[in-house]
Amino acid sequence: MKSRAVVMRKMGGPEVLSLEERELAPLARDEVRIRALASAVNHSDLEIRAGNWAIRRVPALPYVPGLEVVGDVSEIGSGVDGLRAGDRVWTMMQGLGGVRAERDGGYAEHVTVSASAVAKLPASIDPIAFAAVGLAGVTAYEGLGKLGTLREKTIVVTGASGGVGTLAVLLARTAGAHVIALDRSSPLPKPSSADAVFDVVAGPIFSELIASLRHGGRYCIVGAMGGGDVHFDAWSLLHALTLTGYSTEDLDGDGLRAATKALLELKLPEVPVTVMPLGDAARAHAMLERREVRGRIVLVPGG
């Protein structure tokens, strides 16, 4: 059986992404095949494509990008229990694309994964609406969890107009927090004005973010779009601050299913989403790089 996927055969700009037809390999006994309905684009996809983040496997190329996909099970390996054809599911990380790239990624019409790496979704769920939450939602949910109780606390969220930041703002407000949402044009928070910081930027604003924390405050980094080289006043740690982080590289199937259940129960408001055909992956990357999109871009098969 043949299926189309976005493939990159060299590192570079968005133009290195092209839609190709490929032969699907037979399923292993513990695998499932997912007919993709929606595949979100992540900042990590851009870094990998540009060659800034190295793919660890050898050889690294050709490579199908995409860290996540929502779809319907179309085929099941002989050893799989608990899933059947037609089930709506999703999966993310766990070697699906990314720097680990144990498998081809989610920018494809059909995606093959281990059955243990998927989480079921309600059959009635809108796949595009859920894909707009997806990995960003899991990252925001788990990262905010590192900050402790949020109710009636003041939380700074950086990168608030991006995918993860948008979800972090929604989740924190749903949890009863007062949110200071920062984007590129926002003034930095005042010293000692916040109980916690959820950070996707770091870089040059790191020291101001740490200074914004009150005594006993908590900081969690989930990304560093501004760069990983940071500095701050070490004396600030004497204010009983906690600095930590979260990475979805640590996610497993059980964690995915637990986070999925929590996100579904929260009944979040709709996330801003731009829907584009799979064949426009290069344009999607270019738009995201130029910061022309609020929220998330979701790729869908078809025209």
pLDDT tens column, 98-155 = 999 999 999 999 999 999 999 999 999 999 999 999 999 999 999 999 999 999 999 9
Domain end, chosen from 245, 271, 289, is at: 245
1 pLDDT higher than 90: no
In the chain, the amino acid numbered 178 is: H
Residue 121 and residue 262 in one domain:
yes
Give me the pLDDT at residue 303, please: 58
In this structure, the answer to whether residues 33 and 159 fall within a common structural domain is no
Q: Which residues in the chain belong to E strands, given as ranges?
A: 2-8, 17-23, 31-40, 68-76, 88-92, 110-114, 118-120, 154-157, 178-181, 194-199, 213-221, 242-245, 273-277, 296-300
Residue 270 located in a structural domain: yes
Domain boundary, last residue among 200, 216, 245? 245
Domains identified in the chain, total number: 2
Contact status, residue 197 vs residue 217, Cβ threshold 8 Å = yes
User: CA dihedral defined by 290, 294, 298, 302, rounded to 10 degrees?
Assistant: -80
Task: Tell me the mean pLDDT in the region 44-63.
Answer: 96
Tens digit of each residue's pLDDT (9 = 90 or more) over 237-255: 999 999 999 999 999 999 9
* One domain, residues 97 and 28: yes
Both 13 and 105 in a single domain? yes
Residue 140 lies in a domain: no
60 and 114 share one domain: yes
Single residue among 245, 275, 290 that ends a domain in this structure: 245
Confidence of residue 163 (pLDDT cuts 50, 70, 90): confident
Mark whether 159 and 219 lie in a shared domain. Answer: yes
User: Any idea which residue has 């584009």 for tokens?
Assistant: 276
Residue 220 and residue 264 share a domain: no
Q: Is residue 138 part of a domain?
A: no
- Domain range for 79: 2-133+249-300
What is the predicted pLDDT for the residue at 266?
86
In a domain, 139, yes or no: no
φ/ψ (deg, to 5) at 49: -60, -40
CATH number at residue 39: 3.90.180.10
- With 90 as the cut, is the pLDDT of residue 206 above it? yes
Residues 114 and 241 in one domain: no
d(CA 68, CA 188): 32
Residue 141: inside a domain: no
Same domain, 273 and 226: no
pLDDT band at 36 (very low <50, low <70, confident <90, very high): very high
**Low-confidence winner among 37-41, 51-55, 160-164 (lowest mean pLDDT):** 160-164
Residue 260 inside a domain? The answer is yes
* Each residue's pLDDT tens digit, 64-112: 999 999 999 999 999 999 999 999 999 999 999 999 999 999 999 999 9
Residue 267 in this model has a pLDDT that exceeds 90: no
| Contact present, 68 and 79 (Cβ < 8 Å) | no
Give the per-residue pLDDT at 48: 97
Task: Average the pLDDT over 222-246 and give the result.
Answer: 94
Residue 217 belongs to a domain with what CATH number? Answer: 3.40.50.720
C-alpha to C-alpha distance for 255 and 110, rounded to whole angstroms: 24
Measured distance CA(170)–CA(153) in Å, rounded: 14
Would the CA dihedral through 143, 149, 155, 160 be positive or negative?
positive
Is 188 within a domain?
yes
pLDDT attached to residue 5: 98
What pLDDT score does 116 carry?
98
With vertex at residue 23, the alpha carbon angle to CA 20 and CA 26, rounded to the nearest 5 degrees, is 145
Q: How far apart are CA 249 and CA 129, in angstroms?
A: 24
Query: What number of CA atoms fall less than 13 Å from residue 116's CA on the CB side?
Result: 9
State the chain's mean pLDDT as an integer: 96
Same domain, 105 and 187: no
54 and 203, same domain (yes or no)? no
C-alpha of 300 from chain center: 17
Same-domain status, 265 and 129 = yes
Euclidean distance between CA atoms 85 and 165, whole angstroms = 35
